[in-house]
Amino acid sequence: MSPRFKRARSNQKGVSFIELLIAVTILSFLGTAVFGVFTQGLRLRQRAASLQPDLESDLIFEKITGDLTSAYPSGLGSFKGEEDSFQMMGYAASGTADPQREGIPEPARIRYALKDGALERSQEPYETLLAAGNAAEPKVKEVAAGVKECHFEYYHRDPKKAEYQWKSFWQSDCLPKAVRVSLRFDDEKKIQPKVKVIALPAGRDYCQVPAA
């Protein structure tokens, strides 16, 4: 073997143990950082998924509140409430194609009902009620899907007991003082129902207790 070849081999350096240890340490730090970012993103995604029913229930409550706060007693339709539905006379945006009336609140009969896991809303304009004699089929729109439970309760004063109570039904020419809405969505997590008490405007025609 020539001296020149021996010198070339002696100049070649391999990876030392310390260099290998440093490389493994750097890779472990990088892996830990990537895993931390991935875990954080997964937690944020799970949190967003868990908050989705809350956001949806807030939108539903806002819609129902807007309708209930416009309720008024009328000869065309009394306030009728059951555990899973209610209907009333109130004010709602016009559903006509007339651009001059679009978005203007008009008297209408409004109904909410839970049907086949969906909360539905319908409204019949005042002029339709007069013309059709309450026989026309209202247009139904879906407010929310995947609703497992939707309960309505009605607040009134019992004159016999001289106290206020929640009632599971209501049928009277007068209005209840408030409506309590309980919502629970159909998901794998057993989330507690979201509850909101909606007070009807003061000064409306309230009654004491509806006839059974």
Q: What is the CA radius of gyration of the chain?
A: 32
Tokens 């004159």 correspond to: 159
Q: Is 176 a member of any domain?
A: yes
Residue with the bigger pLDDT between 33 and 113: it is 113
**What's the CA gap between 86 and 179, in Å, rounded?**
10
Mean of pLDDT values over 181-199: 81
Residue 22: per-residue pLDDT: 82
**What's the CA gap between 195 and 181, in Å, rounded?**
6
Q: Is 31 a member of any domain?
A: no
Question: What total number of domains does the chain contain?
Answer: 1
Helix (H, G, I), strand (E, B) or coil at 204: coil
Q: Is 192 a member of any domain?
A: yes
**What's the CA gap between 116 and 140, in Å, rounded?**
14
pTM (2 d.p.): 0.67
Contacts of 92 (CB under 8 A, 6+ apart): 67, 70, 105, 106, 108, 110, 123
**Which pairs count as long-range contacts for 194-202, CB under 8 Å and 24+ apart, including other chains?**
194/53, 194/54, 194/57, 194/61, 196/61, 196/65, 197/155, 198/61, 198/64, 198/65, 198/68, 198/69, 200/68, 200/69, 200/71, 200/175, 200/176, 201/69, 201/71
Q: Is 8 a member of any domain?
A: no
Residue with the bigger pLDDT between 94 and 22: it is 22
Kind and range of the H or E element at 108?
Answer: strand 105-115
Range of the domain at 69: 51-199
Mean of pLDDT values over 133-138: 61
Helix (H, G, I), strand (E, B) or coil at 196: strand
Residue 159 backbone dihedrals phi, psi, to 5 degrees: -70, -25
Q: Is 119 a member of any domain?
A: yes
**Cβ pair 77, 87 in contact under 8 A:** yes
Q: Is 76 a member of any domain?
A: yes
Mean of pLDDT values over 169-194: 82
Whether 117 has a pLDDT exceeding 70, the answer reads yes
**What's the CA gap between 61 and 152, in Å, rounded?**
12
Q: Is 120 a member of any domain?
A: yes
Q: Is 19 a member of any domain?
A: no
Q: Which two tokens stand for residue 202?
A: 């003061």
